[in-house]
Structures are given as structure tokens and as C-alpha cells.
Structure 1
Amino acid sequence: MKWTTALVKFRYRLIGGTDGSTGSRPDGSWETSELLASNHTGKSDDFITSDDQGKEDESEETGMRKYAKLILPHVGLVFLTCAYTLIGASVFYSFENPNEHATKRQQLNLIYLRQEQFVSSMMELAAANETNREVWSEIAQMHMHNMSDHLFVAFEKYFLTSNEVKKNTTVEVWSFSTAIFFAVTVVTTIGYGNPVPITKAGRLACILFSLFGIPLTLVTIADLGKFLSEHLIWLYGNYLKIKHYLCRRVEHRKEKHEHVCEQCQNRGISPHMLPVEEQKIPAVLVLSILMLYTALGGVLMSHLEPWSFFTSFYWSFITMTTVGFGDLMPRRDEYMYLILSYIILGLAITTMCIDLVGVQYIRKIHYFGRKIQDARSALAVVGGKVVLVSELYANLMQKRARNGDRDAFIIENLYVSKHIIPFIPSDIKWIRYIDQNDQGSMSTSSSSLELHSCRFCHSRFSISHHA
């Protein structure tokens, strides 16, 4: 639209006018069309400019809407998973936290009751002037066994610690951050097993929470892994392009010429429209990324927890592979959210590795299996006769079974042929085709014909080279 206004102004310059003003002819006469165009030039220019600006704004708004439609489902999936995890953590906290304080206090009271009973028994023996060593040993052993059994149950089931027993105080295990950590380990199927819900309501909530949370979280992690894999493929593709560009600059290589027939050229097909092969990320690169991230977790956890680097690396690897033995557990609540972020991103990276490497090997296995299945229909020549390989193998097995314990037998003149490939002579370009006329096939001293095959339609065409 703007170029029409520019043409009108240029026309006025030719007849003697300037920008924004009108001019007259050399004889002083005016044309009606020129006067009308001159009077409305400014208005139409402003109108066209505002119209084009509106179209540009509309196109930008449409592009933003399309981008929002693409990104909102993924962002919404992440927020939905986070909200579901927070709701589950709140439910676990409301069920388990009050019960934890009550059960811990009850266990501490029982421990101190056992201690008082032991002391009372010893005092009774002393008051009775009992000097028999066996009696003292029997009573002390009985009380010690009862005490040790009760302490073991309190430590194993109710997560009491020695400091709590010594100071007769309770330390909160089911804090809200611990509840979030437990919810994440449930939906990611890591399952450390420490802590665990004890109440019936908490266990029922865990069943329902896992029933819907595990599929939702696995889909979210798979979506994040796909996002990372696509960006890694994009980065690796750019790396290959830069590497190829630098190699061509150094070696001064020219791009290989692709022959295209005239019909394909008329259709708009160019030699640059070649099929692009899918970028295959090397397995070593993907595994290196996973191991580097695991090592990063080892460094991180060795600073956050009182663990060595090897212990931290071991915990990181067990967590990234969702094994989760539960022998090692982060205890510092102030760094719990940082650890959770590391775990979620690590699971996405693990999914990315499976997506990039595992799929390639699965395709190779399927390809190998199909080739083995195709081998059943392969042919073999034995003694001048063509037989199927499957039939030949069956006959060999039958003959071997009849021969019993013989170590081996020899079959002469046995070879398996692959697919029949027609022999194409190297001088095929000199062979005349049936659709060639005499003029096109003649070769003179001044010109020669060179036959080529089209890159796209594979049709034969000739190119004449003049001497």
C-alpha cells in the first residue's frame, strides 16, 4: 500500500513538484487527475500507514496467541503437578504431624517407665540384702531386654532419636517441608521409606494420592524430558553446522553439484531441497551429561549434608534412577526445596537420556529382528539347485540328528546369496535410450552429450558440452 503513495510523489517530482507540494506543467496547465491526487496524497498516506500498522499489530498478536497456545499446556501441566503435590503434602502433614507428637510422647513415657521399673527392682534387691549374684544378673538381664526391645521399636517405627531419649523432648519429623519431600518421593516412585505414614487416614490418603499423582508426575517429567531432548538436538545440530562451516572455510571445499532436470526446475525444486536426516545424538555425549549431573549432585550434597563425595554421588545416582534404597536421606529442612529441584531436574535429564539413546537402540533391535525374519525367504544354491535357507537349515538339523555324536560334517559348494542386484555397466551413459532421437544422440567434434539422473524424479536427461 505504501509503495503506491511513493509512486505518486515520484510522478510529481517528474512534472516539476517537490515532496508534499504539487507542480504544474511547463506550459502552466494542470490535469484534473493530478490535482485530485495532489489534494489527497497526505490523507491517503496517513490512512494507509495506520492500516498497515494495524495489520502488523494484528499479526504480532496472532503470533503471540499461537505461541501462548503452544507453551501454555506445558506450563499448565507443571503447575498442576506442583499444586497436586502441595495439596497432598498438606493432607499428609495434617494427618501425621499431630499423631507424631502424641506417639513420640507416649513412647518416651514408656521408656522412662521401664527405666523407673529397673531402678525400683535394683533398690528392692538392695533393701532385701540380697547378695546372690545370679539373682541380680537375672533381674537386670530381664529389665535390659525389655528396655532394648522397647527402644528398638521406638527408634525403628516411631523415629525416636537418642537425643530425644536423653533430653526427654520430641523433635518434629513430619514438618511441612518433610511432607512435601515425602509427596515428591511418592509420585516420582523413588520411595525412600523414611518417613512413612503411620495413621490409617494417612495410609489411605497415600493410596489415593499415588493413584492419580504417579501418572500425572510421570507425564510431566516425560514432557520436560522431551523439551530438554529437543533443545539438545537443536544445540547439537547448530554445533554440526558451525563445525561444517569452519571445515569448509579451512579446507575451501565447494558444495557438491546436484543435477536437476528441467521439469523439476520448473516446479520450483532446487538442489538445496534435499532430505534432512534426523540428528542422532551420540550415546557417549548423552551418558556424559547424565554422569556430569550426577557428579554435580555429589558435590552439592557433600556440602549440604555430612557426607563424603562418594556417598553423595551414590545417593545422587540411586535417586536419579528412582531406586531409592532409603539408607541415605537428606535431613536439613532449610535446603529441602533446593534438593527437590535437583531431583526433579535430574529425573527429567534421565528421561531425556532414555528418549535419545534408548529409542535409537530399540529401532536397531527392531531393524535387526526384521532382517532376521527376512532371512527366512533368502535363497541358497546347493549342488546347482536353488532352495530356501529355512528348508536347508531344517535338512541340516535332521542330518545332524541322524548322525548322532559326529562332531561335524562338510557341505561343499554352499553359499547364501543376498538380494539380486542388477549389473549396471560403468559406461551406461553411452548407451542410447529408446526415447532419444538421432539428433540428440549424435556426437560431433564440437559437442558431446552427458547423461545424468535427476536428484528428485530420477529421470534421465542429457547435458551437452560444446567444445
Structure 2
Amino acid sequence: MGIKEMFSLARVPSILLLGVVYVTYVLIGGVVFWKLEGDLGQKDISLLLLNKKNLLMKYTCLNQEGLEAVAQVVQDASKAGISLKGNHTSDGFWKFTSSAVFAATVVTTIGYGNISPRSTAGQIFCVFFALFGIPLNLVVLNRVGKYMLVIERNISDFLEGKTRRRKCTRFFVHLVSYLSGAVLFFIMPMTVFQLHEGWTHSQAIYYCFITLSTIGFGDFVADSNPDKVYPEWYSVLMASWIFFGLAWLALLINHSIDILERLNTHFKQWWGGQKQGEGPGNAEGDNPDTQIEEDDKIEKPPITQ
């Protein structure tokens, strides 16, 4: 008995298979990050301890308690967005432009973590602001993404009428759309961040993806360095880039989800010994996975302008 027949007899649910793939993927990622960053983290710890020892030896009047007090001042200044270099003062994080960008990171669930409300009233308002703002943001991004898709389909239909080549035309339109989005939301912002933040190419690209995917680690945050003076249009450009970039990346991720769903259906049919021409009256008619796939086939209503 072969592997195909064994899977066919076992009738392994696709949700179980997807769960195994998901857990395996996460564990493999954990191992890779552990190997790539673990040794570097130990070196960083050793270097910090050495710098601490040298600092206490250089400044003999500074003991452990004094060092902790200085570290607390530096940490508080960093949270407030205040620079301790020189004698100049700054407005901190809570300017109008920075506050507007913070509001955008709340409703988009990016949440860098470099800035957060500290007052009780601000924390309570943040809860209710996010409670209504996150669904509103999802609805707006979904609509903007659909309009992007409509524009892409209209261009594709127009070119199909001229060339009479459906598959080649759709592939070309998708390719141009992806490349244009990559240039508009990754390459161009990378150049801007290099000029105004002083980041490398890899750091800028890394920040673009971490932001637009709403992961938001907070290790790199644009428009947040208290030692730099940013132009007034910088925050507006940031907010616009985040909004439209989220819509474009969400559309790209939806295409990826569609590809994974097709692969899942293909593998399930192969393992279950199904044929494409079989009707619904087979042994898997009551399978919840089959029911989900049937529900997914229901056409969505057309988009109205």
C-alpha cells in the first residue's frame, strides 16, 4: 500500500494537516532565529557588561546606584522623545503631527511601542479609540483594496480586448502591478528613509515591511529621533504611505492566501483520491472542509461605485 492510499483511507482532515504545517513552520522559524541571533545576543551581553565595568572604572565617583539612576533618566528621556545631547530642548513625542501618526498606528494595529499614553484618561481613550477605529480602518482598507483590484481588472480587460490573449495579459498586468507597488511602497520610501533617518538599504526595507505588515517591532521607527529635525511634510507623507501601503500589501497577501488555498485543495484532492470531475454526492459530502470550500465558491456581489 502506497502513501497515497494510506492518506486516502485515513481521510486526514485538511485543517489537521494545515495545523501541522503551521506549527512546523513556526518551530523552524524559531530554530533559524535562535541560530542567527542567539550567539549575537550573547556577544552583546558580554560587550555591555564590559562597557559597564569600564564606565565604573573611569568614573570612580559613580557607583552602581548612581549608574542605575543615570540609566533611568536616559530611559525616561527616550520614552518621552527628548534628546539628552547638548543643551537644546525638544517638544517630545506628543506634538500634533507625532500624535496623528500615533493615532494611525493604533487603528492600523502597527503599535511600535516607542510611544504610548501614560495618563489614565489617555489610556482609557486609547481603548475606545482603537475599539471603533480598528474595524473602521479594516472597512476602509478593504474598500480601497477592492478599488485597486477593480482598476487592475479594468486595465486587464482593456488589454485583453486589444491583444486577445487572456492568460498572458493577466500575468503581465499582475506583474506590472506588483512591481509598481514595490517601487512606490518600498523602493521610494527606502530612499526617503535613508536621507532623513540615516538607515542602510537593508534597514529601510526591513522597516517598510515590518510597518506595512503591521508587525511593528519598534526597533526602527521613522520620525521619532529627538536628535533630528524633520520637515513638516514628513509626518503627512508617513501617514499617507502607511495607509495606501497597507491596502496594497493586504491585496498582495490576499493573492498569496488564494494561492495557498488552491494548493491546499489540490493536495487534499490528491491525498483523498478525488478527481476534478466528481460531483458533490461522494463520501466527503459531509466533511466540514468540503463545506467550507463550497461556501468559498459563492460569488461575492459586484462592487458598486
Superposition TM-score, scaled by structure 1 size: 0.40
Identity %: 26
The one of 366, 374, 382 equivalent to 2:265 is: 366
Bigger helix share: 2
Cα separation, 2, equivalents of 1:337 and 1:355: 27
CA RMSD of aligned residues (A): 3.4
Deviation at 1:218, TM superposition (A): 1.0
> 1:341 corresponds to which letter in structure 2?
S
Q: Flag the 1:184–1:333 CA change in 2: closer, same or farther, 3 A.
A: farther
List aligned pairs for 1:257-336, cutoff 5 A: 281=171, 287-293=178-184, 294-331=186-223, 332=230, 334=232, 335-336=234-235
Q: Flag the 1:170–1:233 CA change in 2: closer, same or farther, 3 A.
A: closer
1:349 aligns with 2:252: no
Deviation at 1:350, TM superposition (A): 1.0
The one of 210, 217, 227 equivalent to 2:147 is: 227
Instruction: Answer yes or no: is the 8 Å Cα contact 2:81–2:92 preserved in 1.
Output: no
Q: Flag the 1:144–1:362 CA change in 2: closer, same or farther, 3 A.
A: same
The one of 137, 148, 155 equivalent to 2:77 is: 155
List aligned pairs for 1:444-459, cutoff 5 A: none
Bigger strand share: 1
The one of 153, 158, 161 equivalent to 1:241 is: 161
Q: Flag the 1:202–1:141 CA change in 2: closer, same or farther, 3 A.
A: same
Superposition TM-score, scaled by structure 2 size: 0.58
The one of 202, 208, 221 equivalent to 2:122 is: 202
Asked which structure has the greater CA Rg, the reply is 1
1:337 aligns with 2:227: no
Q: Flag the 1:199–1:290 CA change in 2: closer, same or farther, 3 A.
A: same
Cα separation, 1, equivalents of 2:92 and 2:80: 11
Q: Flag the 1:201–1:314 CA change in 2: closer, same or farther, 3 A.
A: same
List aligned pairs for 1:156-171, cutoff 5 A: 156-163=78-85, 166-167=86-87, 169-171=89-91
Deviation at 1:302, TM superposition (A): 2.4
Q: Name which structure has the greater RCO, CA cutoff 8 Å, separation 6+.
A: 2
Deviation at 1:284, TM superposition (A): 5.0
Structure 2 residues without counterparts, runs of 5 or longer = 1-58, 224-229, 276-305
Instruction: Answer yes or no: is the 8 Å Cα contact 2:82–2:92 preserved in 1.
Output: no
Deviation at 1:184, TM superposition (A): 0.4
Cα separation, 1, equivalents of 2:256 and 2:158: 20
Q: Flag the 1:291–1:345 CA change in 2: closer, same or farther, 3 A.
A: same
Deviation at 1:351, TM superposition (A): 1.9
**SS of residue in 2 equivalent to 1:375:** coil
Give the match for residue 182 of structure 1. 102
Cα separation, 2, equivalents of 1:326 and 1:215: 23
Deviation at 1:243, TM superposition (A): 2.8
> 1:375 corresponds to which letter in structure 2?
Q
Cα separation, 2, equivalents of 1:153 and 1:146: 10
Deviations 1:362-416 (A, max 9, x none): 244335424543539xxxxxxxxxxxxxxxxxxxxxxxxxxxxxxxxxxxxxxxx
Deviations 1:1-51 (A, max 9, x none): xxxxxxxxxxxxxxxxxxxxxxxxxxxxxxxxxxxxxxxxxxxxxxxxxxx
Deviation at 1:349, TM superposition (A): 0.8
1:212 aligns with 2:103: no
Deviations 1:251-270 (A, max 9, x none): xxxxxxxxxxxxxxxxxxxx
Cα separation, 1, equivalents of 2:81 and 2:159: 53
**SS of residue in 1 equivalent to 2:274:** helix
> 2:137 corresponds to which letter in structure 1?
T
Cα separation, 1, equivalents of 2:146 and 2:94: 35
The one of 375, 381, 386 equivalent to 2:274 is: 375
Cα separation, 1, equivalents of 2:264 and 2:104: 35
> 2:183 corresponds to which letter in structure 1?
L
Instruction: Answer yes or no: is the 8 Å Cα contact 2:212–2:246 preserved in 1.
Output: yes
Deviations 1:150-186 (A, max 9, x none): 32342344443213xx427453320011111001011
Structure 1 residues without counterparts, runs of 5 or longer = 1-135, 246-275, 377-467
Cα separation, 2, equivalents of 1:161 and 1:326: 18
